[in-house]
């Protein structure tokens, strides 16, 4: 913590130049050029880009419907068998962490879990650990972005401190709420109460009544079902589920990239201006940009280079991380509305679990001052040690995000 003081002075000295729009020294000029290039895209290119956004959102909805049909085709016994290994909460948690690390998208992992619940293939209590694990696994990418500064010890320490604050915030939230959920199940109960209160009312649309969505997705859904119908009655639905999961991954990944090209230049300006003014404004900006880009990783990764060059401190990035965690939940809630049938309501409940969990984490860890410094303290100390001993970061990432979850899955879920 003590070593962050010199950087803070440097951050303040650069802040005015950044807000005014001038390219700061230390490597931010390329970012400014990238923004300028995005703003100077021809009108027809932007129009095509937004058509692509609409197409990818449509693909996302289709993918959710395809997975639902796949689970329905399996039958209840076979569908439950698929998730039997994740019935243990520690295995589910590890699946969420490791799965998100591998596919680099918490939205995809969570959307698949929500769809499985909405299809009746996975009980809500089995999905909650997966959702909580996905919330943690998504932070790895931002830590890898900090490696671009590894050639300069000071810049590497700043960048790693800003990136791993996301890690420790999510780990702290998990340490607090996962044991509580195992004992008293507050996320399950509160999300169920909220769903019962809002489902079928004017406050939220009833997925069963959104017939136009079903009509729009039916051609793609039927095409996939027809393509997989030539194999056995078990393998066909399995292939359907795999295709749907792959389509979700493609849709989320390229939607983020396309929106980054179209929007992040402006969104980055909003973030940088908001970060230096007010913590809660920075939090709101992080949430808003994440809703637009469909990716908390994009939102937080954008700020790591600014932290590395000393324009922002980890303390200033911290509230943006908190806001981005909340922003990423809206995609999953949106995806839940693509489900129909008798289990669509419980699928929406699973999506609300993700939202409520992140709201509780904000209140308990950030709004209440007692725990607020903990993620920042851990991140800055890890960054200080890792900047002196580079192998520490490799051990940390490999052990916490890969080895431990894999070990739990093998020892508890398989053996």
Contacts (Cβ under 8 Å, ≥6 apart) of 10: 310
Which pLDDT belongs to residue 335? 67
Distance, in Å, from the CA atom of 181 to the CA atom of 125, rounded to the nearest integer, reads 9
- As averages over each run of 10 residues, the pLDDT of the chain (415 residues) reads 42 39 38 48 82 84 79 69 80 93 80 84 91 92 85 93 95 97 96 85 57 71 88 84 86 74 64 76 87 74 83 90 90 68 78 95 95 96 96 95 94 79
pTM of the model: 0.77
Quote the pLDDT of residue 365.
96
The pLDDT of residue 204 is 61
Are the CB atoms for 374 and 151 separated by under 8 Å?
no
- Token readout for 190 is 């509160």
Name residues whose C-beta falls within 8 Å of residue 342's C-beta, 6 or more positions apart in sequence.
120
8 Å CB contact between 62 and 219: no
What are the percentages of helix, strand and coil residues in the chain, rounded to 5?
A: 80, 0, 20
Cα angle vertex 380, ends 374, 385, to 5°? 125
pLDDT at 395: 95
Using CA atoms, how far residue 151 sits from 156, 157, 300, 388, in Å, is 7, 11, 21, 12
Instruction: Name residues whose C-beta falls within 8 Å of residue 135's C-beta, 6 or more positions apart in sequence.
Output: 96, 106, 170, 173, 174, 325, 354, 357, 358
CA 309 to CA 156: how far, in whole Å? 9
Cβ burial, residue 383 (10 Å; 0-12/13-18/19+): buried
The predicted structure's pLDDT at residue 8: 42
Identify how many contiguous H helices and E strands the chain contains and give both numbers.
20, 0
């Amino acid at each position: 913590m003590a070593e962050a003081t010199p950087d803070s002075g440097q951050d303040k000295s650069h802040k005015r130049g950044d807000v005014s729009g001038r390219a700061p020294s230390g490597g931010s000029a390329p970012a400014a050029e990238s923004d300028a290039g995005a703003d100077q895209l021809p009108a027809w290119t932007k129009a095509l880009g937004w058509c692509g956004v609409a197409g990818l959102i449509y693909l996302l909805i289709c993918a959710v419907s395809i997975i639902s049909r796949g689970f329905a085709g399996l039958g209840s016994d076979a569908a439950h068998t698929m998730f039997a290994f994740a019935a243990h909460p520690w295995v589910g948690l590890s699946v969420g962490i490791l799965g998100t690390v591998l596919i680099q998208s918490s939205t995809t992992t969570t959307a698949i879990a929500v769809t499985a619940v909405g299809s009746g293939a996975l009980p809500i209590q089995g999905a909650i650990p997966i959702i909580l694990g996905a919330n943690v696994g998504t932070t790895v990418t931002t830590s890898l972005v900090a490696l671009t500064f590894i050639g300069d010890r000071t810049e590497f320490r700043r960048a790693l401190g800003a990136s791993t604050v996301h890690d420790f915030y999510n780990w702290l939230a998990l340490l607090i709420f996962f044991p509580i959920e195992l004992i008293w199940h507050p996320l399950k109960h509160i999300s169920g109460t909220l769903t019962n209160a809002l489902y079928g009312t004017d406050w939220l649309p009833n997925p069963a009544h959104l017939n136009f969505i079903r009509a729009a997705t039916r051609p793609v859904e039927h095409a996939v079902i027809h393509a997989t119908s030539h194999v056995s009655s078990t393998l066909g639905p399995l292939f359907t589920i795999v295709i749907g999961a792959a389509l979700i991954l493609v849709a989320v990944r390229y939607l983020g990239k396309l929106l980054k090209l179209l929007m992040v230049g402006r969104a980055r300006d909003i973030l940088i201006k908001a970060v230096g003014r007010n913590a809660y404004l920075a939090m709101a900006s992080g949430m808003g940009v994440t809703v637009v880009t469909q990716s908390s990783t994009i939102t937080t990764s954008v700020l790591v280079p600014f932290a590395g060059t000393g324009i922002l401190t980890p303390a200033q990035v911290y509230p943006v991380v908190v806001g981005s965690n909340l922003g990423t939940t809206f995609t999953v809630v949106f995806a839940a509305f693509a489900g129909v049938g008798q289990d669509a309501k419980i699928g929406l409940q699973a999506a609300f679990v993700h939202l409520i969990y992140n709201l509780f984490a904000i209140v308990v860890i950030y709004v209440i001052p007692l725990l607020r410094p903990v993620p920042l303290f851990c991140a800055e100390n890890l960054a200080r040690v890792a900047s002196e001993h580079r192998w520490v970061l490799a051990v940390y990432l490999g052990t916490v995000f890969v080895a431990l979850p894999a070990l739990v899955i093998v020892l508890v879920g398989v053996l």
